[in-house]
Amino acid sequence: MRLDRRDFMKMTGAFSLTLTADIFAAPQKANKKPNILYILCDQWRAQALSCAGDTNLKTPNIDSLAKDGLYLKNAYSTSPVCTPHRAMLMSGKYPSNTNVWKNNMLMAPDENCIAETFVKAGYNTGYIGKWHIDGPAKPGHVRYRQGWQYWAGFNRGHAFNNGVYFTKGETKIKVPKGVFEPVHQTDLAIDFINSKAKDSEPWFLLVSYGGPHMPYTAPQNYMDTIKPDQFKLRPNVRDMKPNHRRALHGYYAHCLCLDDCVGRLTGALKSLDLDENTIVVFTSDHGDMHRSQAQSYKSKPWEESIGVPFIARWPKVIPSGRKLDSLLSTLDIYPTLCGLCGLENPSGLQGNDLSNMFQGKQGKKTDCVYLLIGTSQDEGAWRGVRTKQHTYAYHINKKSAYVLYDNLADPFQMNNLMDKPENKQLQSKMHKLMVDWMKKVDSATCKALDNI
């Protein structure tokens, strides 16, 4: 049959309309939510990165994350010690709510954990490494895994050359002989990522390395790379004895090993074409003094103890190459990850959702980080606040001033302004700021201390 032009146009028009209707009637495939690879180190201070200006080591893989993502220069551990930080990370709540004030305490099994929130949103979850919020067991089968589905972890311990972990039951599994624990944990993490590569559901994997925490050790090739006799020490370092220098040597060597582990993880994402839709976070639970202020370890109010690295990369969503001085506290992490993934924040979270700021948009900011160590009954307990400019801390048992610094004028905190007449107004302002925070999120401590 021969069609004239008018008939042809009618037919093609009808076909076009039908095709268009079919296209729009078909269900639209929703964009998959981003995966999360959260890399949590133990005792890695903010300053110990080559991208942070430390010339004693090179961390090219972590530097690359910072170059391709967001690097926060003012990220702080709200309580710079392992268990309290981890409980706050998992719950999004202060110790006054969880009652987890110090190391080796149990986070309540019914506490709503970040993993449980993500499981409800359709995520597959996995946890590898140190947990340290299931009481004092060493290294210990973890009884309450609180939403983490895949499990290759343990409660606590730093036997890097003789590691063990648990999976489905209480049977202890040994890390293969001669394999440094973080290297094996990285192997497990890559296996997890491979197993989820073709899944339609997003995943959230938390890799909790036990280093560079003491004992300060690493495989010999990393030890040989670090030159302790050539260390450029921070200006506030005092009383650095040979054993302290050996500790710093092992610390830096362990950092090098972990940088290689980070490179293997990000390489696995790229090889599986997962890097574009995976949020990668690199951070730590707290820092390490290494003789700054003549102090060692953590639990102190100085930058080397409270400051942690925090880098977040998500190509095309988190703008690359930004180095910000915006504040971030431990409590902000849970709500921010929810915000980035489009999840509604559970009720009761006590931090800020900084996801807009992460994405280069206008949004909430953290103006002050509340700092705490111990209860009012614990010797050496203190409370404090860290703003962009100042650090203030107060001994709550002694009811006495501890430290006050202007961090912009004095970045190495070598001039304690506390109790100097000319700083009376500043000290009073910072003390009131601390007390206001205590009233808001730490009321029991505030009530226990009259006339603070």
Domain holding 41: CATH number? Answer: 3.40.720.10
Q: Is residue 158 part of a domain?
A: yes
Same domain assignment for residues 295 and 386: no
Residue tagged 């495939």 (tokens)? 29
Q: Is residue 40 part of a domain?
A: yes
What is the rounded CA–CA span in Å between residue 65 and residue 352? Answer: 23
Q: Is residue 252 part of a domain?
A: yes
What pLDDT digit, counting tens, does each position of 79-130 carry? 999 999 999 999 999 999 999 999 999 999 999 999 999 999 999 999 999 9
Q: Is residue 13 part of a domain?
A: no
Write down the catalytic residue from 85, 132, 213, 254. 132
Q: Is residue 2 part of a domain?
A: no
Q: Which of 366, 386, 402 is the last residue of a domain?
A: 366
Number of domains in the chain: 2
Cα–Cα distances in Å, from 357 out to 94, 239, 276, 288? 23, 41, 20, 28
Same domain assignment for residues 395 and 314: no
Residue tagged 């080397």 (tokens)? 304
**What pLDDT shows up at residue 448?**
80
- pTM, two decimals, is 0.92
Annotate 262-283 with b (16+ C-beta within 10 A) or e (fewer).
bbebbebbeeeebbebbbbbbb
Q: Which residues have CB under 8 Å from 448's CB, separation 6+?
A: 376
Report residues of the chain scoring pLDDT below 50: 1-30
Q: Is residue 5 part of a domain?
A: no
What is the rounded CA–CA span in Å between residue 427 and residue 422? Answer: 10
Amino acid at 353: D
Same domain assignment for residues 409 and 280: no
Same domain assignment for residues 302 and 435: no
Q: Which of 366, 394, 417 is the last residue of a domain?
A: 366
Cα–Cα distances in Å, from 20 out to 15, 23, 24, 284, 314? 8, 5, 6, 52, 35
Same domain assignment for residues 404 and 356: no
Q: Which of 366, 395, 430 is the last residue of a domain?
A: 366
Amino acid at 31: N
**What pLDDT shows up at residue 31?**
63
Q: Is residue 298 part of a domain?
A: yes
> Are the CB atoms for 61 and 68 separated by under 8 Å?
no
**What pLDDT shows up at residue 209?**
98
Same domain assignment for residues 291 and 434: no
Same domain assignment for residues 324 and 375: no
Mark whether 82 is an active-site residue: yes
**What pLDDT shows up at residue 100?**
96
Cis peptide before 301 (omega within 30 of 0): no
Q: Which domain holds residue 405?
A: 370-448
Q: Which residues have CB under 8 Å from 315's CB, separation 6+?
A: 68, 275, 276
The kind and range of the H/E element at 430 are helix 424-441
Same domain assignment for residues 212 and 300: yes
Q: Is residue 299 part of a domain?
A: yes
Same domain assignment for residues 270 and 348: yes
Same domain assignment for residues 360 and 378: no
Same domain assignment for residues 140 and 217: yes
**What pLDDT shows up at residue 30?**
47
**What pLDDT shows up at residue 1?**
40
- Give the CATH number for residue 398: 3.30.1120.10
Nearest to 61 by CA among 287, 215, 255, 253: 255
Phi–psi pair at 38, nearest 5 degrees: -105, 115
Same domain assignment for residues 318 and 438: no
